Structure 1
């Protein structure tokens, strides 16, 4: 039976490349988007379904409570600007989108994954969220990614072995967020996420990866 996958923020950038890769692997894919036009366009181009959801609005995530998905890719992200003191709202928004949203979706989908004996959760993180790399980035971006990393490691302890959860850094990718000067294509940035989404039974869990290799937190 084909695996069902949910990819947040899958209408553009790395998320869209991940969705395309999962479709190519035979998965039934649903992407989320914040706008109707963007979601419909991307879904039509990718050959998948879509749902309107905004991780800044937790009520829009309730539609996924108890939904049947075997793969969850928490890809959606924002890059708030300015210092934490000058733009404190950036902190709250970053945590809502890149920490609280992924956790809410994990709570919604993981019980069903466990009951069916299969689940793969992939959290799109960043080297900016690694203490080993200096915890960089503007505003609260690095803080949120570090918290997402910690969430990944803690949830791996609590989830059953059949539900694998990992974080990954796509690298510097040519997206609206990464800019045109980035070294990697969206397909290259998506590769590790696709690998983690399709891990075999003996695959890793609770790790942090880049280019399919484990990296320090």
Structure 2
């Protein structure tokens, strides 16, 4: 049975991704900052008949927490097949490039970028033992430098200094990670779940968390001929998903 670790899996897109992969036969470690919230989420899925859901306490901003989660999961399995770096924060609104202070930037980057680095580096040894390891970094088409510099893009006027900057940095990390792992079976991609209605955006999205979870799960389960080092948003590009950086 293949195994997957999903950060921020107790609600929203992370929870729906867990549901999708459980339905496909994966054993899912559902990471959550608050263990009780994670346990409630896992119990909900088990009550649906999806028994292979297990909650794990993991705060991506806390190195000790990440290391403890690595030890805990390592006691249960020697192989991790998929890592989905989903945990993220938006940083609150508004987000002015001139008025947001360094502490605000630091808080957002600590979760959305540094947290991904912490978790990826902590679990890379277990991933290397998988015959077909996959890493999905949950990104956003709203961090595309190309799109945000195009006055013709429909979201051109929806500017924010913190969240898109952190995700653009995450995209560069994804490119570098995929490059370093290019001669291995790894597939590493950045994937946008779409503008879906969750707690993250006050449920103002136009799509559903289920749709977002399906998109993430798709790239978590690609075969050996699948892409790596790419950026996908099926909401932006319904035909191929390929999205400009």
Same fold (TM over 0.5): yes
Give the structure with higher Rg (CA).
2
1:50 to 1:112, Cα distance in 2 relative to 1, 3 A: same
Is the Cα contact below 8 Å between 2:108 and 2:163 reproduced in 1? Answer: yes
Q: Which residue does 1:74 correspond to in 2? A: 85
Q: Which residue does 1:88 correspond to in 2? A: 102
Paired positions, count = 216
Does 2:6 align with 1:7?
yes
**Alignment partner of 1:167: what SS?**
strand
Gaps (5+ residues) in structure 1?
A: none
Q: Following TM superposition, by how much is the alpha carbon of 1:95 offset from its aligned partner in structure 2, in angstroms?
A: 1.2
Q: Following TM superposition, by how much is the alpha carbon of 1:64 offset from its aligned partner in structure 2, in angstroms?
A: 4.1
1:138 to 1:146, Cα distance in 2 relative to 1, 3 A: same
Q: What does 1:16-95 correspond to in 2, within 5 Å?
A: 16-47=15-46, 48-65=53-70, 67=74, 68-81=79-92, 82-83=95-96, 85-95=99-109
Is the Cα contact below 8 Å between 1:174 and 1:180 reproduced in 2? Answer: yes
Is the Cα contact below 8 Å between 1:6 and 1:31 reproduced in 2? Answer: yes
Does 2:151 align with 1:152?
no
Does 2:221 align with 1:198?
yes
- Calculate the TM-score normalised by the size of structure 1: 0.92
Q: Which residue does 1:210 correspond to in 2? A: 233
Which of 145, 162, 170 is the aligned partner of 1:140? 162
Gaps (5+ residues) in structure 2?
A: 47-52, 150-157, 235-239
Q: CA RMSD in A?
A: 1.8
